[in-house]
Amino acid sequence: MKIEGGCYCGAVRYAAEGKPVMKAQCHCRQRQYFSGGAPNMFMIMPADGFAYTKGEPRRFARKDLLTPRTREFCGECGTHLLTLRPGLDAVILKVGTFDDPSQFGLPRAAIFTEDKQAFHCSRRTAGV
Ligand SMILES: [Zn+2]
């Protein structure tokens, strides 16, 4: 599959092609900072099929962690685009940055649900 996407202001664009490695929703406390509080919806795509097609992202990795994730985001509008995990030859794309977020379909799993907040809807609480 091919996914195209970018940030809110359009300064940074990307394309990702290949077979999705995983798609899920993450409830971990760390991701809540980047999502605004909601679970983070992500799709992992192979690194060799990924390229920025416009602009260059800014990067951030915490210096106080042994194996920090690198977060790439638009330096203009601040949209968080993806995460890189040490040892993972793939990009962890944020589904909200897809041109067509419906390409995500449904998550295959919910992870770090121990950090789930009471206000996070689930299939059961949402009545779906
Ligand atoms: Zn932007």
pTM of the model: 0.86
Question: Does the pLDDT at position 119 exceed 80?
Answer: no
Nearest-angstrom CA–CA distance, 123 and 117: 14
The Å distance, Cα 12 to ligand 1 centre, comes to 6
Nearest-angstrom CA–CA distance, 72 and 93: 10
Nearest-angstrom CA–CA distance, 55 and 80: 14
The Å distance, Cα 6 to ligand 1 centre, comes to 8
20-54, pLDDT tens digit by residue? 999 988 887 887 787 888 888 999 999 999 999 99
User: What pLDDT score was predicted for residue 123?
Assistant: 57
The Å distance, Cα 119 to ligand 1 centre, comes to 29
The Å distance, Cα 32 to ligand 1 centre, comes to 20
The Å distance, Cα 98 to ligand 1 centre, comes to 13
The Å distance, Cα 14 to ligand 1 centre, comes to 12
Question: Does the pLDDT at position 128 exceed 50?
Answer: no
The Å distance, Cα 80 to ligand 1 centre, comes to 9
CB-based contacts of 104, cutoff 8 Å, min separation 6:
23, 41, 43, 95, 98
The Å distance, Cα 71 to ligand 1 centre, comes to 14
Average pLDDT over residues 73-81: 97
Question: Does the pLDDT at position 127 exceed 50?
Answer: no
